[in-house]
Amino acid sequence: MSTPAEASTIYRRYLSALMLHGHASAKSCGLGATDLYALNTLELAGPLTPGELGARTGLTTGPTTRLIDRLEQAGYVRRAADPTDRRKVIVEPIGQPAELDEVMAPAREQIAQILRGYNPDQLKVLFDYFHRAADAYQQTAEQLRTTHPSPPR
């Protein structure tokens, strides 16, 4: 077992590599990292209002509008009337970047190979961690947004 300092370094290296891969994947598909994050958010959450998408991506109104415009022009999302309140607009995914699966396939295969090296009990622990860590990061991100809002520019 690593010391706490070594464990922290390993974990930070993992997170940095994950972020670097996301940025590189997005760029190779002609997207920005926030564009890719927004598409992933919509895929996981389903259709969202522009305000909800902005809140989840950490963007203010203007940048959210430009993000949606870019994704709409690229054919990945569309604006539609909210089926429960036709006065509202929702943003819904309609496609994925054509190259994204191809670009991400090598990393996905390498990760799958790594996961095949774990037994079912180890996988259960890993995926329990992923689930709980995702919740913890989302909760603390929301806390940071509400307690430390971005300074005015």
Spatial distance between the Cα atoms of 66 and 91, rounded to a whole number of angstroms = 13
Percent of the chain with pLDDT over 70: 94
pLDDT, mean of residues 64-92: 93
Q: Write phi, then psi, for 71 (nearest 5 degrees).
A: -70, -35
Q: Residue 132's Cα: distance from chain center in Å?
A: 16
- Binned at pLDDT 50, 70 and 90, residue 95 comes out as confident
pLDDT, mean of residues 62-70: 96
Q: What is the pLDDT of residues 101-119, one digit of tens each?
A: 889 899 999 999 999 999 9
- Binned at pLDDT 50, 70 and 90, residue 151 comes out as low
**DSSP string for residues in 8-36:** HHHHHHHHHHHHHHHHHHHHHTT--HHHH
- Binned at pLDDT 50, 70 and 90, residue 99 comes out as confident
Q: According to the model, what pLDDT value does residue 150 have?
A: 66
